[in-house]
């Protein structure tokens, strides 16, 4: 069934089409509109709700724990690591400015890294990493504080000490995303959800994108001057030439507690495990490293082996003796590559991509959106 005369005039032609309604897609669309308020922008999201990582994550507003940064320095060098930290920080500040701390539910309760036997070797690296970061933040970011093991109630013989970072914050992931959708709506960005892009083509004079329309049982072709793909882990389907590996992450929240014994964001095992207070509950996630093969997938789902380990960590290390029950669990899909730097690139004259956000996309996502908008608009 063909489009009506009216549909062709009002819904088919756009200045920009953005594919993907996660933090990067929304940020790209909003940045495009900030640059060109008169531009007509269509954002297409395959899920009824965003269906990747942006509404599924743990809400850490972070830029890297000590052990993560030490490992990053090995791959990126000191300058490369500092540049990445600066981009994460810039993304967070831009996000806070755009949405506002109230809308984000942002709280700067500090971040902490639990040091077990395996991480003790990283402690002598604190002064060097602090010197590197001081050139940007102006303070010694990481401080070891062994008293925190007892204060927060962690298992004493497993957790040897804690490294504190006062600059880290946390936010309410759902509120962040809902606010971004509302900002997009206020800027008259047209959003279609439940709209999976199946094909796209750069025809030089314009781009065409087709998606299936269940109502009419036909494909609809949308046209635009420029197209931006913000589909993160799902991008390899169209762009197999890029190094993009999906990584599933599992998260759960406990039942409400009378009092959560800590406030803040907590990292363990080079960021493979993480937990925080989420209101009156503990949120805990991670464990992908227990089963890399099965977790290298774009399918949502719960890996029982990982779930069992997360439960054990909660009961034995994080809140020993508390017999807390799990209330809700879910998964989300991230994207990784050999390096932690996102891919922000032009792939043809009229098509750009901003993908592979890794495990700190809440932080860097807004900046990637801004960079992609600049590239798409050029
Ligand atoms: C469990 C978990 C915990 C995390 N915790 C944190 C954290 O605490 N702090 C942090 O900074 N980061 C965290 N992250 C990472 C962060 O959430 C991601 O890096 C970020 O959300 C990526 O945003 P994105 O917009 O690039 O991708 P996504 O949010 O995945 O968005 C891509 C969107 O594209 C859509 N899409 C895909 N294909 C198509 C198509 N063909 N047509 C239309 N739409 C399509 C998808 O449905 C999806 O909504 C976590 C991630 C997970 C999974």
- Does pLDDT of 1 surpass 70? no
Q: What average pLDDT does range 64-91 have in this prediction?
A: 97
56 lines ligand 1 (CB under 6 A): yes
Each residue's pLDDT tens digit, 251-273: 999 999 999 999 999 999 989 99
Asked if residue 186 belongs to a domain, the reply is yes
For residue 40, count other CB atoms closer than 10 A to its CB: 16
Rounded distance from Cα 22 to ligand 1 centre (Å): 6
The answer, yes or no, to whether residue 323 has pLDDT greater than 70, is yes
The candidate with the shortest Cα–Cα distance to 120, out of 316, 272, 266, 269, is: 269
Q: Measure the CA–CA gap between 50 and 92, rounded to whole angstroms.
A: 20
Q: Is the beta carbon of 65 within 6 A of some atom in ligand 1? A: no
324, 350: one domain: no
pLDDT given for residue 361 in this prediction: 97
249 within ligand 1 shell (Cβ under 6 A): yes
- Ligand 1 centre to CA of 205 (Å) is 31
pLDDT value, residue 270: 87
Give me the pLDDT at residue 2, please: 87
19/149 same-domain check: no
Residues 317 and 200 in one domain: no
- Do 162 and 267 fall within a single domain? yes
17 in the same domain as 135: no
Give the chain's domain count: 2
- Return the structure tokens found at 14: 């756009």
Give, using CA atoms, the residue closest to atom 35 of ligand 1.
20
One domain, residues 34 and 151: no
- Residues 122, 266: one domain? yes
How large is the average pLDDT for residues 11-35? 98
Question: Does residue 205 sit in the same domain as residue 286?
Answer: no
Query: Taking residues 219-248, what's their average pLDDT?
Result: 96
Residue 209 lies in a domain: yes
Q: Which pLDDT band, with edges at 50, 70 and 90, does 297 fall under? A: very high
Q: Evaluate whether residue 103 is within a structural domain.
A: no
pLDDT, position 67: 97
Dihedral angle over CA of 19, 23, 27, 28, nearest 10: -30
174 CA to centre of own chain: 12
- What is the length of the chain? 378
Give the pLDDT of residue 219. Answer: 94
Are residues 212 and 257 located together in one domain of the fold? Answer: no
In a domain, 249, yes or no: yes
The response to whether residue 353 sits with its C-beta less than 6 Å from ligand 1 reads no
Mean pLDDT of 125-154: 98
Q: Say what the pLDDT of residue 68 is.
A: 96
Backbone torsions φ then ψ of 295, nearest 5 degrees: -85, -5
Instruction: Give yes or no for a contact between 153 and 132, defined as CB atoms under 8 angstroms apart.
Output: no
Residue 235 lies in a domain: yes
**pLDDT recorded at residue 378:** 77
Integer angstrom CA distances of residue 9 from 6, 40, 47, 71, 289: 5, 13, 26, 53, 51
Distance CA 29, CA 322 (A): 45
Radius of gyration, CA atoms only, the chain? 22
The boundaries of the domain holding residue 32 are 5-55+175-242+341-376
Residue pLDDT, tens place only, 324-375: 999 999 999 999 999 999 999 999 999 999 999 999 999 999 999 999 999 9
Closest-CA residue, ligand 1 atom 53, reads: 332
pLDDT exceeding 90 applies to what percent of the chain? 96
Q: Which of 217, 225, 305, 318 is nearest to 264 (CA)?
A: 318
Write down the H helix ranges in the chain: 5-10, 23-35, 66-99, 101-104, 126-137, 147-152, 173-186, 292-295, 304-313, 361-376
Q: Same domain, yes or no, for 204 and 268?
A: no
Which atom number of ligand 1 is nearest to the Cα of residue 250?
Answer: 1
Q: Indicate if 12 and 157 belong to the same structural domain.
A: no
Co-location of 219 and 289 in the same domain:
no
10 within a domain of the structure (yes/no): yes
Q: Is residue 149 part of a domain?
A: yes
CATH of the domain at 153: 3.30.9.10
Q: Which helix (H) or strand (E) holds 43?
A: strand 41-45
Question: For residues 84 and 151, is the Cβ–Cβ distance under 8 A?
Answer: no
- Choose which residue among 234, 251, 295 to substitute to test ligand 1 binding: the one with the highest number of ligand atoms within 8 A of its C-beta: 234
- Does the CB atom of residue 197 touch ligand 1 within 6 A? yes
């Amino acid at each position: 069934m063909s489009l009506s005369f009216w549909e062709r005039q009002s819904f088919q032609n756009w200045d920009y089409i953005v594919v993907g309604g996660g933090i990067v897609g929304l940020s790209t669309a909003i940045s495009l509109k900030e640059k060109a308020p008169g531009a007509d922008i269509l954002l297409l999201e395959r899920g009824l709700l965003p269906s990747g990582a942006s509404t599924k994550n743990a809400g850490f507003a972070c830029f890297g724990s000590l052990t993560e940064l030490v490992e990053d320095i090995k791959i990126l060098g000191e300058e490369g690591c500092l540049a990445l930290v600066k981009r994460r920080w810039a993304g967070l500040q831009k996000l806070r400015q755009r949405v506002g701390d109230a809308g984000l539910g942002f709280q700067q309760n500090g971040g902490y890294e639990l040091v077990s036997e395996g991480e003790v070797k990283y402690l002598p690296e604190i002064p060097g990493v602090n010197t590197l970061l001081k050139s940007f933040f102006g303070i010694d970011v990481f401080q070891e504080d062994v008293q925190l093991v007892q204060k927060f109630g962690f298992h004493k013989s497993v957790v040897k000490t804690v490294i504190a970072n006062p600059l880290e914050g946390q936010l309410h992931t759902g509120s962040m995303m809902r606010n971004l959708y509302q900002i997009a709506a206020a800027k008259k960005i047209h959003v279609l959800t439940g709209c999976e892009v199946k094909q796209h083509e750069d025809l030089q004079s314009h781009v065409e994108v087709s998606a299936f329309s269940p109502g009419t049982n036909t494909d609809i072709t949308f046209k635009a001057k420029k197209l931006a793909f913000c589909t993160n882990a799902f991008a390899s389907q169209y762009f197999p030439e890029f190094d993009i590996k999906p990584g599933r992450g599992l998260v759960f929240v406990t039942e409400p507690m009378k009092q959560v014994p800590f406030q803040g964001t907590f990292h363990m095992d080079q960021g493979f495990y993480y937990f925080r207070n989420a209101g009156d509950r503990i949120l805990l996630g991670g464990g992908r490293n227990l089963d890399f093969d099965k977790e290298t997938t774009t399918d949502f789902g719960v890996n029982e082996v990982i779930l069992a380990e997360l439960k054990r960590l909660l009961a034995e290390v994080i809140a020993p003796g508390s017999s807390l029950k799990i209330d809700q669990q879910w998964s989300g899909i991230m994207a990784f590559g050999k390096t932690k730097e996102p891919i922000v690139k032009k792939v043809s004259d009229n098509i750009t991509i901003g993908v592979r956000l890794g495990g700190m996309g809440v932080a860097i996502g807004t900046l990637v959106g801004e960079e992609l908008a600049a590239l798409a608009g050029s």
